[in-house]
Amino acid sequence: MSFRWGTLRGALLLVGWLLFLPPEAVTAQEAASVRVEENFRREPNGLILARVSPGAEVRVLDSRDGWSQVELSGWVWLPSLQVSDDPDLGLVVSASDGENLRAEPRGAVRARLVEGALLAELERQPSWARVSRIGWIWTASLQDASLEAAPSSPPPAASPPVGPRPPAARAPGDFVASAGGAILVAPDGDTLAVARPTSDVQVVRREGNWARVRLEGWMWMPGSATPTAEDAPVEETSALEPGDLASRPDEGAGRAVEWTLQFISLERAEEIRTDFFRGEPFLLTRFGGGDGPFVYVAVPLDRLDEVEGLVPLESISITGRIRTGASSLTGVPIVDLVSIRRAGGAP
């Protein structure tokens, strides 16, 4: 059987946030460890229950569609818990800022549980409860726990310094991810892909210790048809609308959406808007016309020239990723701009 190479400049024209690691597979019913800090969810792409620490061990129960169902267990400080009404999950995290899940009482932190997370009680000691919860985590962020202790190759000897340290990369610019890395959908978000050690990435923007990057590469796509323009990768978008996010704002975070909006103005975020970086540009828009709900569209600096010519009340179609379903100041959803098209068809 013959196969063709499909070019996927786009599927690995990944735009994400960089944190470094390499991949290993895990299978169901085995202990696994978490490679990087990762979300622990009620269901795939669902409500976030906890933020799991690197190195934390979980038990894998099932895997499908890029997600693994795992059991997370540990110890929680009793004053941060209350009895719940759930017959199967009898405890709930009551601390307003969440609580640590530890490997043992006063031990290493395995995860940070969010307020309202339901837990099953396994055991109790004075001031502590051992609990567990079954949820979902992105499979690419797991590895076989037995690999954790495997010795790694010694790093090459460092060359003696020859001169002053070179300045840090500035956006935009090229950068070699010497240690490899996980590319996240947003800072502290889910893992989108993994960059191998020494991967060349382009730094588009920096925000503190985070870098927004682009990575280009090839993917094996066997097939018999000659590639056409229709084969160009299109990111799967969600049918979510702003009204769907109001009651459960965290559940849509990281999902891609395609919305038609009415442009009102281009703004810069003030310090009081804590869901933005200070001075970050964003579009003030309405979903579905003049009477629709407001939507904020965060604009990357490298795409600012695409929106500066927009006219108030102009209709635009955007593809973006949900940053939050409800901003802390106004309750308006915020999406990060991926692409924009004006009503006349011009990009």
Residues spanned by the domain of 135: 25-145
Burial 86-115 (b: 16+ CB within 10 A, else e): eeebbbbbebeebbbbbbeeeeeebbbbbe
Query: Does residue 209 lie in a domain region?
Result: no
Domain termination residue (choose one: 145, 173, 207): 145
Domain termination residue (choose one: 84, 117, 145): 145
* Position 42 pLDDT exceeds 50: yes
Residue percentage of the chain with pLDDT more than 70: 68
- Predicted local confidence at residue 264, as pLDDT: 94
Based on the domain organization, do 141 and 248 belong to the same domain?
no
- Structurally, the chain folds into a number of domains equal to 2
pLDDT tens-place string over residues 180-231? 577 877 776 667 777 766 667 666 666 666 777 777 777 776 654 444 433 4
Query: Does residue 31 lie in a domain region?
Result: yes
Q: What is the CATH number for 288?
A: 2.40.50.140
Based on the domain organization, do 30 and 141 belong to the same domain?
yes
Domain termination residue (choose one: 101, 121, 145): 145
* This model's pTM is above 0.95: no
- Predicted local confidence at residue 179, as pLDDT: 52
- Predicted local confidence at residue 161, as pLDDT: 44
Query: Does residue 30 lie in a domain region?
Result: yes
The H or E element spanning position 54 is: none
Mean pLDDT of 32-44: 89
Query: Does residue 17 lie in a domain region?
Result: no
Mean pLDDT of 290-298: 89
3-state secondary structure of 304: helix
